[in-house]
A and B are shown apart, each in its own frame.
Chain A
Amino acid sequence: MLRMRNITKIYRTSLIETHALSRFQFEVEPGEFVSVMGPSGSGKTTFLNIAGLLDTFDEGHYELGGEDVSQLSDVEMSRVRNEKIGFIFQSFNLLPDLDVFDNVDIPLRYRGMPRKERKEAIQSALETVGLSARLRHYPSQLSGGQQQRVAVARALVGKPGLILADEPTGNLDSAMAREIINLLEQINDTGTTIVMVTHDQEMAHRAGRQIFLLDGRVIDIRDEEAKPLFDPDRFMPSMPTPSLA
């Protein structure tokens, strides 16, 4: 589904270079549910952005669904994002001016889908997340959990093969978080691949596989030497070491 080889991402500011990802290796098989953990600043969001074609990288090789996506044009990348990927963000990122229906509609609009099909797809996505009665509500009229469910509906309405979620439960209390994770499991059961960044051990363990990031690299949890680093009790926020540019 997703295969990254030696991906390096360097953020350059006038003063320093930050190696957000360095020689990053990662693979996800179709239908997997993978959780990504790691201390703050370890490169989780950077990885998701690159995986979702929202950001470029400096070196390495990235294949999505068997296709090399590093050389695509903006229009082609946008089409891949639109058709193959669904995004869920920590802060929901619903558009406040649009009601629930129109928010879920966004990806379909960029696909140029006919009106009738869009309507059916939106209905069914909202049914999946249990919000089909709230079509004409605006985000401000919904609870946080409901907003995130709308975001989930928006991510899955286009039937993407891959859903990328960046701390989807980070802004929710544990009951609502559980609802969301149940939803994600349910979606994964239908064959959709999910990669989810989370800080929450419990959420992470719901995924079929967990990986750990440290200083922009994947640490194999089965590697006994590395394991102590991820002992929750000894969890130390560690920052990648910036080197002077």
Chain B
Amino acid sequence: MLLYNLRLSWKSLLRNPSLALLTVAAIGLGIAVATSFTAIYYLMTADPLPHKSDNIYYVRLDSWNPERPFNDEFPERPPAQVTYLDATAVVKSDIPTHTAASFHSDLFVYPEDKTQHPFEVSVRLCHSGFFPIFELPFAYGGPWDRRADEGPDRVVVIDDATNQRLFGGSDSVGQRIKLGPEYFTISGVLEPWRPVTKYYDVLNASSGSPEQAYIPFLHVRDMEIATDGNTQGWKSGDGEGFAAFLSSESTWVQLWAQIETADQKARYQTFLDAYTEQQRTLDRFQRPTNNWIQPMREWHVEEGAVPPEARSMMVISLLFLAVCSINLIGLLLGKFLARAPEVGVRRALGASRRAIFLQHIVECQLLGMLGGVVGIVLSVGALGGISTMFLDDVTLHLDATMIAIGIALALISGLVAGIYPAWRVCAVAPAIHLKTQ
């Protein structure tokens, strides 16, 4: 019966091809828009490291002002980042499988080739654990050795674009580049890499590109590299200048740990609590103990790592699709009711109301499917445009799930557009229409 209904639907489309085209175009447009923005939203909310995100934790210590909480609206939340003092102390723990403190800054690169101008790169200062935790993909070499976290060798990991610019894309491991006033030896070169969200730093331009160079965290001190990101503090430090900043209660470092087992986590929690307890004796951490080992995804949600526009665009695009299919109701109603005499004949020959209803729903679904195919093709093109315009060159693509969602949306819009007309046409009294033919 399904095949029969499909054949009837196909004949019906051919009987009035321009109307069919209009319908398919309307659904197609709606699907294209809805699928594109749903895809964007889905990609942005997707788990960046599905195989291990449960093992990545964001460390937060409540070093805040005893007078008032860090966040008045959510007083239970510790500060979003940790102080330099705490980051450098806690990162020494060997309880986590990997751990790293990190922040973001900018430095100038001075090319050896004097015909090239110096240029600025964004830099992430971090510990070697950063690379295995977040699985940065290497084209050449790899992360620096753990020992380099303590100095004195200056090492750097550069991204593909910088490697293209300085070394024409060749294997530059072992070469030196001048970053700011110092020379750094390249330990690794990344593959081209552009996660949809900067999941390792959602506080600072989370939809932006990753940094172009990565150097050991310790250079913050000897090179006096200030953060370019978010800083919040409540108490200045001792001494003068940069040293005072480093010893202040300013929170600006992000601390991460990869933890595999519950036991490991419990031990780490004990360690953190013991650490802050000890700091109390130094007149710090005067608030109740509140140290968090927060799963990465929870931190992302708390921070709203998905740009709110992504959600509103998705909602608007779904509404647009709804408008498209609601507009079709009138069109289909006219088309179906014009067919009432034919329906009368079918009823007389034994078609039940249900059979008539199904026949027309199948026709709507055929339109929906055709619209869906058109829409998905359009949306593949649209996604390319959208990514270059709004998303700083993230490559968006439709995966199988998104195609399935697109088709599901198409079927739903076919249903939305067709259910009322189909119900009306199956409710007509057959006897009346038999006479008029």
Q: Does B353 contact A (CB under 8 A)?
A: yes
Contact A49 to B15, CB < 8 A, known contacts A54-B348, A75-B352:
no
Interchain CB contact under 8 A, A78 and B347: yes
Minimal beta-carbon separation of B437 from chain A (angstroms): 5
Q: Does A4 contact B (CB under 8 A)?
A: no
Interchain CB contact under 8 A, A93 and B350: no
| 16 further interface pairs, Cβ-Cβ under 8 Å (given A75-B352, A93-B344) | A52-B348, A54-B348, A54-B430, A74-B354, A75-B354, A77-B352, A82-B351, A93-B437, A97-B11, A97-B15, A109-B1, A109-B4, A110-B346, A110-B350, A154-B349, A158-B350
Interchain CB contact under 8 A, A87 and B437: no
Least CB separation from B341: chain A residue: A93
Interchain CB contact under 8 A, A74 and B352: yes
Q: Does A136 contact B (CB under 8 A)?
A: no
Find chain A residues with CB under 8 A from B347 CB.
54, 78, 81
Q: Does A38 contact B (CB under 8 A)?
A: no
| Residue interface mask A116-128, B partner, CB < 8 A = 1 | 0000000000000
Interchain CB contact under 8 A, A81 and B434: no
Interchain CB contact under 8 A, B1 and A97: no
Interchain CB contact under 8 A, A49 and B431: yes
In the bound complex, what is the Cα–Cα distance between A106 and B345 (angstroms)? 10
Binding site for A on B (CB under 8 A): 1, 4, 11-12, 15, 341-342, 344-355, 429-431, 434-435, 437
In the bound complex, what is the Cα–Cα distance between A95 and B249 (angstroms)? 84
Q: List 19 A-B contacts (CB under 8 A).
A: A45-B435, A49-B434, A54-B347, A75-B354, A79-B352, A81-B350, A83-B350, A91-B437, A93-B341, A93-B344, A95-B345, A97-B11, A97-B12, A97-B15, A98-B11, A106-B345, A106-B350, A107-B350, A112-B1
Interchain CB contact under 8 A, B349 and A82: yes
Interchain CB contact under 8 A, A106 and B12: no
**Contacting residue for B355 out of A78, A91, A93, A97, CB 8 A:** A78
Interchain CB contact under 8 A, A95 and B342: yes
Find chain B residues with CB under 8 A from A87 CB.
348-349
Q: Does A55 contact B (CB under 8 A)?
A: yes
Least CB separation from B350: chain A residue: A82
Find chain A residues with CB under 8 A from B354 CB.
74-75
Least CB separation from B354: chain A residue: A75
Minimal beta-carbon separation of A153 from chain B (angstroms): 12
Minimal beta-carbon separation of B423 from chain A (angstroms): 13
The 10 closest A-B pairs by CB, nearest first: A82-B350, A78-B352, A110-B350, A55-B431, A49-B431, A54-B431, A107-B349, A75-B352, A93-B345, A87-B348
In the bound complex, what is the Cα–Cα distance between A93 and B341 (angstroms)? 8
Binding site for B on A (CB under 8 A): 45, 49, 52, 54-55, 74-75, 77-79, 81-83, 87, 89, 91, 93, 95, 97-98, 106-107, 109-112, 154, 158
Find chain B residues with CB under 8 A from A158 CB.
350
Least CB separation from B432: chain A residue: A55
In the bound complex, what is the Cα–Cα distance between A52 and B348 (angstroms)? 8
In the bound complex, what is the Cα–Cα distance between A158 and B348 (angstroms)? 13
Minimal beta-carbon separation of A21 from chain B (angstroms): 13
Least CB separation from A97: chain B residue: B11
Interchain CB contact under 8 A, A111 and B350: yes
Find chain B residues with CB under 8 A from A45 CB.
435
In the bound complex, what is the Cα–Cα distance between A139 and B349 (angstroms)? 18
Find chain A residues with CB under 8 A from B351 CB.
78, 82, 110
Least CB separation from B429: chain A residue: A55
In the bound complex, what is the Cα–Cα distance between A185 and B355 (angstroms)? 33
Minimal beta-carbon separation of A158 from chain B (angstroms): 8
Find chain B residues with CB under 8 A from A52 CB.
348
Least CB separation from A52: chain B residue: B348
Least CB separation from A46: chain B residue: B431
Find chain B residues with CB under 8 A from A91 CB.
437
**Contacting residue for B350 out of A79, A89, A97, CB 8 A:** A79
Find chain B residues with CB under 8 A from A55 CB.
429, 431
Find chain A residues with CB under 8 A from B348 CB.
52, 54, 81, 87, 93
Least CB separation from A86: chain B residue: B349
Find chain B residues with CB under 8 A from A93 CB.
341, 344-345, 348, 434, 437
Find chain B residues with CB under 8 A from A95 CB.
342, 345
In the bound complex, what is the Cα–Cα distance between A66 and B73 (angstroms)? 79
Find chain B residues with CB under 8 A from A98 CB.
11
**Contacting residue for A89 out of B352, B353, B437, CB 8 A:** B437
In the bound complex, what is the Cα–Cα distance between A133 and B342 (angstroms)? 25
In the bound complex, what is the Cα–Cα distance between A45 and B434 (angstroms)? 10
**Contacting residue for B349 out of A97, A106, A112, CB 8 A:** A106
Minimal beta-carbon separation of A151 from chain B (angstroms): 10
Minimal beta-carbon separation of B413 from chain A (angstroms): 26
In the bound complex, what is the Cα–Cα distance between A119 and B384 (angstroms)? 52
Minimal beta-carbon separation of B323 from chain A (angstroms): 32
Find chain A residues with CB under 8 A from B352 CB.
74-75, 77-79, 110
In the bound complex, what is the Cα–Cα distance between A204 and B60 (angstroms)? 99
Least CB separation from B436: chain A residue: A91
Residue of A52, A79, A93 with most chain B CB atoms under a 10 A cut-off: A93
Interchain CB contact under 8 A, B434 and A89: yes
Minimal beta-carbon separation of A149 from chain B (angstroms): 17
Find chain B residues with CB under 8 A from A74 CB.
352-354
Minimal beta-carbon separation of B251 from chain A (angstroms): 71
Find chain A residues with CB under 8 A from B15 CB.
97
Residue of A77, A78, A93 with most chain B CB atoms under a 10 A cut-off: A78
